[in-house]
Amino acid sequence: MRGNGGKQFKFSEKENAKVPGFKRDPVGDKEAEIESGILQKYKGRLLVMASDKCAVQCRFCFRKNMQKKSIRNLPEKLHKMLKKDKSIKEVILSGGDPLMLGNNELQAFFRAIPKPIKIRIHSRIATALPSRFTPALQRLFKQLGSRLIFVTHINHPDELSKKSEKIFRNLSKYGITLLNQSVLLKDINDNAKILAELSEKLFSQRILPYYLHQLDKAQGTAHFEVPIKKAKKIFKELKETLPGYLVPRFVREVKGEKSKVWIS
C-alpha cells in the first residue's frame, strides 16, 4: 500500500500505554446488549455480532478489547426477536466481520430476517480479502438485491483496487446500496487531500462516502487520535474541496446517545 495506509494494521508498543479517557468499551456495547450477541442502540435497528473473526486486525479497532466469542443459535434468537418486535426496520450484521461466516451461516441470518426488513452488512472483506467474493456469495447477495445495504470500511484510497472495483460493480448491478465509513486516523488519512482522493475513488467504484468517524477512544488506540481542533480544520477543508455528495458526515459515537453525534 502506497503512503501510510498500511500503518492501520501494524502493531506499535504505544498500544500498551494507558491513556486517561481511553476505555475497554468506549461506545457502550455492553449496556446496549439486549440478548447475547444482539445490541440495540438506536430506534428501529438491531445490531448483530454475527461473527467474532476479521480478515485483518485493525490496530485502532473500537472492539479490540472486547471478548470475542461466537454465539450459538444467533439466527434463531434473532428471528424470535423480530417476530415479537415489529418496530425493527433494519438489522445490521456486524462483528468482527460477518463475511468471515460461511455461505450457509450467512444464509441462516438472511432467512431469519423476514421481508421487508432491510439488511445492512458492515465489512472490510471486499478490500481485505476480495477472494471471499466467490460467485456463490455474489448469488446470495443478488437474491437480496435492494434490501441489502453494504457498508464498506475503507480509510485510505490505496485500499481500493481493480479487484474491489469488480466486486462493487457487481453489487451495484444487483441494486445493492454501497456506502463507506472511515475513521480519521493520525498519520494515515489526517489530511483533506487524502480524504478527498478517497471520496473520489470510492465514487468511481460506485460507493458513496457516508461517515467519517472521530476515533472511538478504545484502550490502546490513543496514538491514532487526531486532536479535535485539527480534525475540524481537516473536515472544513474537505467540505471546501468536494461537491456535497462526496462529503461524508463527520460524526462521533457517544455512549447512550440516541443517534450518532454530528460534529460541525
State the maximum Cα–Cα separation within the chain, in Å, rounded to a whole number.
50
Shortest distance, position 58 Cβ to ligand SF4, whole Å = 3
Under rule CB under 6 A, residue 96 binds ligand SF4: yes
Measured from the CB atom, the residue of 56 and 82 that comes closer to ligand SF4 is 56
Under rule CB under 6 A, residue 63 binds ligand SF4: yes
Under rule CB under 6 A, residue 57 binds ligand SF4: yes
Residue whose grid cell is 443478488? 142
Measured from the CB atom, the residue of 164 and 192 that comes closer to ligand SF4 is 164
Pattern 201-220, binding to ligand SF4, x per CB under 6 A? --------------------
The CA distances from residue 106 to 98, 99, 257, in Å, are 8, 8, 30
How far is the C-alpha of 34 from the C-alpha of 252, rounded, in Å?
A: 22
Which residues 6+ apart lie within 8 Å of 16 measured at CB?
220
Contacting range for ligand SF4; rule: CB under 6 A; set: 12-20, 89-97, 170-178, 247-255: 89-97
Measured from the CB atom, the residue of 147 and 213 that comes closer to ligand SF4 is 213
Contacting range for ligand SF4; rule: CB under 6 A; set: 12-20, 95-103, 132-140, 209-217: 95-103
Q: Give how many residues touch ligand SF4 by CB under 6 A.
A: 11
Please list the alpha-helical segments (H only) found in 20-155.
29-32, 74-84, 103-112, 125-128, 135-144
Measured from the CB atom, the residue of 100 and 178 that comes closer to ligand SF4 is 100
Pattern 113-142, binding to ligand SF4, x per CB under 6 A? -----------x------------------
Among 27, 38, 48, 54, binds ligand SF4 (CB under 6 A): 54
How far is the C-alpha of 81 from the C-alpha of 126, rounded, in Å?
A: 30
Are 180 and 209 spatial neighbours (Cβ–Cβ below 8 Å)? yes
Other CB atoms within a 10 A radius of the CB of residue 43 amount to 10
Are 181 and 124 spatial neighbours (Cβ–Cβ below 8 Å)? no
Contacting range for ligand SF4; rule: CB under 6 A; set: 17-25, 30-38, 93-101, 202-210: 93-101
Shortest distance, position 129 Cβ to ligand SF4, whole Å = 10
Secondary structure class of 264 (helix, strand, coil): coil
Q: To the nearest 10°, the Cα dihedral for 72, 220, 250, 234? A: -150
Residues contributing to the site for ligand SF4 (CB under 6 A):
54, 56-58, 61, 63, 95-97, 124, 153
